[in-house]
Structure 1
């Protein structure tokens, strides 16, 4: 697989973001099936970082690419990136993936049809500014389900909840660092504090300069600066005036014990960093709400040097509340606090800090993250079974794609699978005249509607025809009109539907395959929140006669009468938001109004039921749910119950047709009989183990298994 890495960073400079770029290249070079080109956005003048790249990485300076496109410039800019990539690929061949960092570059590339499906985005700053317009690249990427790499689980959850981004295509890859070849060695001599990074006022360097004044008077202490570029010099002239004076005093030898080196190779910088006793990683409070994990902090951990950090939520989450080198910059006097740390490196606190950073180093090692990043690039895990050894061109005929999205995300990552579309305007009307091109080997009719009728009556010799039947159309007129002898495989969602299809339509049993709607099982493996213990969840209440919202309320009311600790969270669009539900010419509206009236006139129900709007972030929502309900009169396989189980929820399922074949022993003709089990589950001290067992019971429904089984058909 050919991969281009294109980042807005200037690879001539040495700072955290260019070290990130260097390490991304090193990490992907560990994958033997990836051929990596580093496509630079600036002309390469300084090879300090470039010389550390693996030999397998090909580096292309911006001026080389620009020349290919006939553009006279020293920098590959967002406004020229599309033309340059088109010209470059015309000369060297198309890339399978283009890994891009930089919002403006992403916007241009995602706006280009022939490029957008090959883009993988890197988003280090995932928390959006809710007071500003949504970034254009996010809107474009969400529409095409572009895979995105973020640095932390917090960033992933922000993408899901605040940007409505599909969880399945957001991949967490923390800062990438490479372990040193040898174990860290204890530093002998004066205790040394090390700062490594760019010269930026907001990296606490004003405090560090003050600290150096005191260190210079203590022969038992040293400070080592490993300085990168000056940042925002015109904006912060007073600070840089102090910085220049500080440099001059160093040059004159006026500050003993203080040293400063600039623009040195990264490998040499790491050798110096590992000789320190402590790392100076304090920043001004403008960085306290950042959710990016600093590469430099992780790097110090891998080198065995405990960092001194701001006492904020991100650092506490990573290092623990009891990490001894957290500094409250709003209350603590910085210099005395840091000097105290530096003068006590033989303490129990120091030993505890070294144990903690060793744990962190193991979490962030390149070896443990290599597959994570390559998974995002490929679209599937490196060790995933091959979907097909034979190239397949599959045409999908459908009026609605919503139940195919994660499957399409998976097969889009496989070079042997090509998907084309035949779009239907409705269940009965195609957008254009149906037609199967000669190069298509398989037709999938998603939904057994008029699309399946037409293709079963017009099957082209040499093609395979697969039909997927959902509950929606199972009891309508379409299945009876299908020429089932021409259908190679029928996919149904439960044993009950399989038996009905064989019985009603005389389909050969060996052609009917039970494949419930898949889930992202791995993505649902998230720790439960404390409130989940006493929270029931109900997903979807529309339409009324199908979902039976009233039955769920009956059950919840009976539960509350037995135990008032429980709450109900309803995740759904409201019926008045859906025209075909609210404006039906029957008693649907009256039944909804009656149920809502019952809730809001009953103080007990009104205070214990909340309504959560529909959204993409279901994986995160299930963290707060302990019991998942299915109160329906009819379902196909009720995917929300399978998702709830995967997240560790106890299911309570009404006995709708087919439910027992999927969810026994959690199915009840009278849901009230589940109340003792719900209370016992909440009070069980071994609930964690029970949740793991429940989740494991539906691991077979993961999207990877569905993709494998579908390709076998």
Structure 2
């Protein structure tokens, strides 16, 4: 069968094969035509399995999800696969509950595309799919951001995988140059009311009234029966068969449809405004761009990002379409500009570009084994991780689990002082190395019971340094204490008196690949804070900065992403904490400059998506052990702005550190008014990649666990 999912499957197989994978394609339906499958059979490293032809499935048509899940599991049993790419929510939902969970690379297309459509059951199903998926492949940045905000479990797993446009063998794009004489318009696809296909059939007649000779070529044979408009199918067919200047080619194989498109001058993808909010990108638009054919389409943020805000062929109404076509019919320069924009945009969606993306994702999911690790044992290194709260360790944990030279088990303590002693003892008997996340009761328990030949690594945070546990820890039983900054390494040595050789600095990691996303318009006037509790985070000082900026430019806005202080019982029970926030919120309400200038966004894992609107990330705290927020902001392309809390200069470039809120505000204003924001953004991003990128920090942990100092 040839439909959108079959075209996608062909491109996906080709991209995976080009990225270096051995690929097995499992067909969901009997083969009716070999036009898509036969070229794949000829590719080296590609195996095509047809359950119908092989007798694995004896149904008359395509497999439904429960059948497909059973067949995929059976094929995987024969020869287990490293990853399983699956398209569609229903099938992914079935696989999420089976033995392929954890290896799924799920491509979701049929998700609700607005908050109003998201039922509780849809959220629950997508959460199960996200938990079972190693990677979620998202067609657009808009879809990725929406998923991350609606289903927190997708955050950190969602990566971009736009449509892949592959030209048939021997096909060449349309020759450059504006049309000479007759303007040939083309539409390919289904005929449906919201796709404005009936309205398109009037364009040649209306253009003739403007002295523009035009011809409309329409390719496709699927005419939609619309229950809301029972007469549509009849009207549509009549217009296709007898419309003035309309040439209806009927249905054609994809290659022939692309040949016809390349013989035309302008593609039509003008749709009803109700579709403007779609989170998916039309493959037809990209195919036209690849063929050198400019497209008339709706102005949406996604299309502006693709083609530029000044693209000349945006259209919302029939009059807009006629104006655009009249303009290019009489102005060759405008036509050439539109064609060049579409061609340049399509270059991001080639097979080579898709293979490059997949190579990056594959290298992250399957790190190369380390000789230093394998030298420790002639088998994978057994790593145990124990702690009550692993949120700061999650990225490292995923990385360790992905290594073929390591096996990982987690002893998750329900609370700081509560655990299953048998499970902890089992970990001691199994592991070569034990990592205690937090230097708390877990570290004390394992230090007193570890085997003599077993290595123990403890990661210490600011929270524990001034608690009683470090003083009780048997440091002789510990091989390495990890601190996240040079400043806290120094404080740890001064406070505990531990041997300097045992205290190591390995910084916090920043998932730069996830955070590196295109900024939204206006970001340079948006300040961001991530976390404002407890009061030592100093929201009041951030308000000082904002107030100074808004005196001269009211476009500056402070976005706060955080739980609110009363959501932390241990904070809100303290009178001085309540007083601090009551004063700050009263000030926001009453200040002429602050009122309307502070936005509170809900706490959640969708930080990468949220940071797209942020141009500066503030750190106004009294003290921090590392403060990850500025580093995450830098990875997103935001410029960091820090007050000089103790140790800040051991983590961040002094150019980002300010002695007062006035100096911070002046620096931010100068950066924007002197048009230096993009330059500083690029510098900040390059700095954080060099120092704190996840692969760099993971390498340091790999060396430590292998025994290297």
Report the TM range for the smaller structure's normalisation. Answer: 0.7 to 0.9
1:538 matched to which residue of 2?
529
1:111 matched to which residue of 2?
97
SS of the residue 2:618 aligns to: strand
1:422 matched to which residue of 2?
411
SS of the residue 2:297 aligns to: strand
SS of the residue 2:436 aligns to: strand
- Within 1, Cα distance between the matches of 2:74 and 2:151? 34
Contact 1:29/1:54 (8 A) holds in 2:
no
Shift in alpha-carbon separation, 1:366–1:679, aligned structure 2, 3 A = same
Gapped runs of 5+ residues in structure 2? 375-379, 705-709
Shift in alpha-carbon separation, 1:501–1:290, aligned structure 2, 3 A = same
Tell me how far 1:399 sits from its aligned partner.
0.6
Q: Scaled by the length of structure 2, what TM-score is found?
A: 0.84
Contact 2:204/2:245 (8 A) holds in 1:
no
Contact 2:184/2:215 (8 A) holds in 1:
yes
- Within 1, Cα distance between the matches of 2:580 and 2:88? 51
Tell me how far 1:637 sits from its aligned partner.
0.4
1:301 matched to which residue of 2?
289
Matches within 5 A, 1:204-223: 204-210=196-202, 223=216
1:514 matched to which residue of 2?
505
Is 1:327 the counterpart of 2:318? The answer is: no
SS of the residue 1:443 aligns to: strand
2:447 matched to which residue of 1?
456
- Within 2, Cα distance between the matches of 1:354 and 1:565? 36
1:172 matched to which residue of 2?
160
1:277 matched to which residue of 2?
265
CA deviations over 1:307-362 (Å, ceiling 9, x no partner):
33334444343223443433333545x6x6697579x3882222222222221232
CA deviations over 1:235-262 (Å, ceiling 9, x no partner):
8764444555678x69xxx999835253
Tell me how far 1:519 sits from its aligned partner.
1.3
SS of the residue 2:334 aligns to: helix
1:474 matched to which residue of 2?
465
Tell me how far 1:232 sits from its aligned partner.
5.0
Matches within 5 A, 1:253-292: 258=247, 260-264=249-253, 266-292=254-280
SS of the residue 1:371 aligns to: helix
Is 1:45 the counterpart of 2:32? The answer is: yes
Contact 2:19/2:358 (8 A) holds in 1:
no
- Within 2, Cα distance between the matches of 1:203 and 1:558? 50
Matches within 5 A, 1:601-612: 601-612=590-601
Tell me how far 1:404 sits from its aligned partner.
1.9
Tell me how far 1:140 sits from its aligned partner.
2.1
Shift in alpha-carbon separation, 1:215–1:54, aligned structure 2, 3 A = farther
Is 1:156 the counterpart of 2:149? The answer is: no
- Within 2, Cα distance between the matches of 1:63 and 1:498? 63
Matches within 5 A, 1:657-676: 657-663=646-652, 665=654, 666-667=656-657, 671-672=661-662, 674-676=664-666
Larger mean Cα displacement after TM superposition, 218-227 or 121-130: 218-227
Shift in alpha-carbon separation, 1:605–1:323, aligned structure 2, 3 A = closer
Matches within 5 A, 1:403-414: 403-414=392-403
Contact 2:171/2:259 (8 A) holds in 1:
no
Is 1:100 the counterpart of 2:86? The answer is: yes
Is 1:16 the counterpart of 2:4? The answer is: yes
CA deviations over 1:162-186 (Å, ceiling 9, x no partner):
4445543221122111256565353
Contact 1:16/1:197 (8 A) holds in 2:
no
Tell me how far 1:692 sits from its aligned partner.
2.1
Tell me how far 1:422 sits from its aligned partner.
0.6
Matches within 5 A, 1:239-638: 239-242=232-235, 258=247, 260-264=249-253, 266-329=254-317, 331-332=319-320, 340=326, 344=329, 347-376=332-361, 378=362, 380=364, 390=374, 391-433=380-422, 434-435=424-425, 436=427, 439-529=430-520, 531-544=522-535, 546-553=536-543, 566-584=556-574, 587-638=576-627
Question: Please, which of 671, 679, 704 is the counterpart of residue 689 of structure 1?
Answer: 679
Shift in alpha-carbon separation, 1:608–1:296, aligned structure 2, 3 A = closer
1:60 matched to which residue of 2?
49
SS of the residue 1:43 aligns to: coil
- Within 2, Cα distance between the matches of 1:386 and 1:592? 50
Contact 2:462/2:625 (8 A) holds in 1:
yes
Gapped runs of 5+ residues in structure 1? 1-11
Contact 1:410/1:707 (8 A) holds in 2:
yes
Shift in alpha-carbon separation, 1:259–1:574, aligned structure 2, 3 A = closer
- Within 2, Cα distance between the matches of 1:216 and 1:556? 57
Tell me how far 1:710 sits from its aligned partner.
0.9
1:3 matched to which residue of 2?
none
Contact 1:176/1:365 (8 A) holds in 2:
yes
- Within 2, Cα distance between the matches of 1:302 and 1:261? 23
- Within 2, Cα distance between the matches of 1:513 and 1:614? 32
- Within 2, Cα distance between the matches of 1:199 and 1:634? 62
Larger mean Cα displacement after TM superposition, 559-568 or 421-430: 559-568
2:707 matched to which residue of 1?
none
Shift in alpha-carbon separation, 1:372–1:231, aligned structure 2, 3 A = farther
Tell me how far 1:574 sits from its aligned partner.
1.0
Aligned-residue RMSD, C-alpha: 3.8
CA deviations over 1:396-455 (Å, ceiling 9, x no partner):
111111112233344444444433211112222213431226553322111111212222
CA deviations over 1:645-669 (Å, ceiling 9, x no partner):
3345454434444333223525566
Tell me how far 1:555 sits from its aligned partner.
5.8
Contact 1:106/1:137 (8 A) holds in 2:
no
Paired positions, count: 684
Question: Please, which of 24, 27, 32 is the counterpart of residue 15 of structure 2?
Answer: 27
Larger mean Cα displacement after TM superposition, 599-608 or 367-376: 599-608
